[in-house]
Structure 1
């Protein structure tokens, strides 16, 4: 009678190979190092093949180990896909691991996820905020929310909302500096610059079908819109900030839109990125559908910001003005 390797043993072996050590695999799997070592020994005994060469400082796969890993990885992926297919007939439950940029996650995502968890009490969420692009497979994320204009990814993605930006400053700053009636007037002001919102060092302004590029000298530059918002609230100058970040500040009068007859010409897009094969999982599908329903045609923060600033809502901008940097 043949002695088969169990799925658990294959899972443990795959984690050992990926992490490069038994102790790291034990931490990832929430097992003791002795349990991981025992599982590997039992697997090698069942197969009659040495899979791993171990020394005090390193761990390497044998030729048999590399071949077995390739097949085991394929089998485990098939098993997961089979489980996802079965899950589509059930209710969303389990752990949802999400990735988001720091600014959007802080200001918008946590509240949205909270409402989703209220609707689906059998779901738990793990939100990781990081401005770098994550690898969904290597880091085991279910959904990554990214604000960008790039469309070249290795994942499926659903467009959720356009992310627009406003030029704004505190009332205190504006009261103590020269009037701003035209974008050109900004060349005489302290500018708080987010690099992804410039084209060759210029801020861009759009009115009707006309676009202007105003070269500004940054008083402060940062790759964090959160940092620039704080500087604007502290009366340091004029910043170009996303509506999802400053809608409440504008509604409360803490920030004021400058030259409201103009719009920032550069626009980004919010996407939910995921593996297409996982979309049949009701946990992932229901969350993405929930996001789309929450945002609608016009996200709530966009309505609030434009209503408070008196600016008209614009559906689209010319494609050539879309920034390729993430926000």
Structure 2
């Protein structure tokens, strides 16, 4: 009798391939590493081919492994679509969703929209992990990571949600106590609150149309948290470069004021929803990403509010 690979073995193989390690796959699937290793060995024995080359440091897919991974993803996607049909007949979205994102974005923009999503889908439970480190999706069995980045050197599938823009701002009290800021160059004489990723080589870069200004700044405070820099700016300690998703409401309430508003930061980031390809087969994952994409869009609500007052 011909021996067939089981769906469980294919699922384990896909997770190993995606996460890059047996231990990470085991954590994601709530299995022991030995059970994951045994499942992979059984699958390779049944297929009669080596799928993954294993060393003490890494795992590498063989040519057969890459071919099987593509087919297995398609099969699991079709299977999940079949389950989705049954769910759609019931007319409801259900299940548990695990999402991770940065602390600042999660507190200021994600939580209210998740609350709205839950209100519209009472059979859904959402677990949110806020972490400023780039969490490995496999480490905590996360379904989706919302990440703000300027690069594309990550190993996940991703959907672009929105452009993240940055502004230079300070409190009215700080502005009243210091020299006026008429040009970007004036900031070289001001107290600056610096976020390292926005200050390459110790300079802030401004753009107006095709005009670029690069100004070396003197950090009064350097922090890798935009929440900390926002607080320092509100307390009148200097000029900060902060994302509009975090400070748009402060600017609208006049608690912060944009400096040289005719210029914008030449550095832009993008908000992505990152996920494993196999996870996108899950209807709940797709539905939530579609929901968030519609909420944010090319011009997200926080930027739309600022634009309407300019």
TM value normalised by structure 1: 0.72
Which residues of structure 2 form unaligned runs of 5+? 1-5, 16-20, 52-67
Residue pair 1:173, 1:237 contacting (<8 A) in 2 also = yes
Residue pair 1:87, 1:281 contacting (<8 A) in 2 also = no
More deviation in 182-191 or 88-97?
88-97
Alignment equivalent of 1:67, drawn from 34, 41, 48: 41
- Residue aligning to 1:216: 217
Change (3 A) 1:65 1:162: closer
Give the root-mean-square deviation of aligned CA atoms: 3.4
Change (3 A) 1:177 1:286: same
- Residue aligning to 1:85: 81
Q: Matches of 1:275 and 1:290 in 2, distance apart?
A: 18
Q: Matches of 1:7 and 1:267 in 2, distance apart?
A: 43
Residue 66 of structure 1: how far off its partner (Å): 7.2
Which residues of structure 1 form unaligned runs of 5+? 1-5, 30-35, 37-58, 311-327
User: Residue 184 of structure 1: SS of its match in structure 2?
Assistant: helix
Q: Matches of 1:64 and 1:87 in 2, distance apart?
A: 28
How many residues end up aligned between the 2 structures? 271
| Partner deviation per Cα, 1:38-74 (whole Å, 9 max, x = no partner) | xxxxxxxxxxxxxxxxxxxxx979x978734877999
- Residue aligning to 2:146: 145
Residue 162 of structure 1: how far off its partner (Å): 0.4
Q: Matches of 2:235 and 2:286 in 1, distance apart?
A: 42
Q: Does 1:205 align with 2:206?
A: yes
Shift >4 Å, 4+ stretches: 17-20, 63-66, 68-75, 77-83
Q: Matches of 1:177 and 1:263 in 2, distance apart?
A: 21
- Residue aligning to 1:241: 242
| Partner deviation per Cα, 1:146-193 (whole Å, 9 max, x = no partner) | 000111222111101000000000001101111111111111110000
- Residue aligning to 1:292: 293
Residue 135 of structure 1: how far off its partner (Å): 2.0
More deviation in 87-96 or 154-163?
87-96
Residue pair 2:163, 2:298 contacting (<8 A) in 1 also = no
Q: Matches of 1:71 and 1:245 in 2, distance apart?
A: 53
- Residue aligning to 1:155: 156
Residue pair 1:84, 1:278 contacting (<8 A) in 2 also = no
TM value normalised by structure 2: 0.76
Residue pair 2:171, 2:257 contacting (<8 A) in 1 also = yes
Residue pair 2:100, 2:142 contacting (<8 A) in 1 also = yes
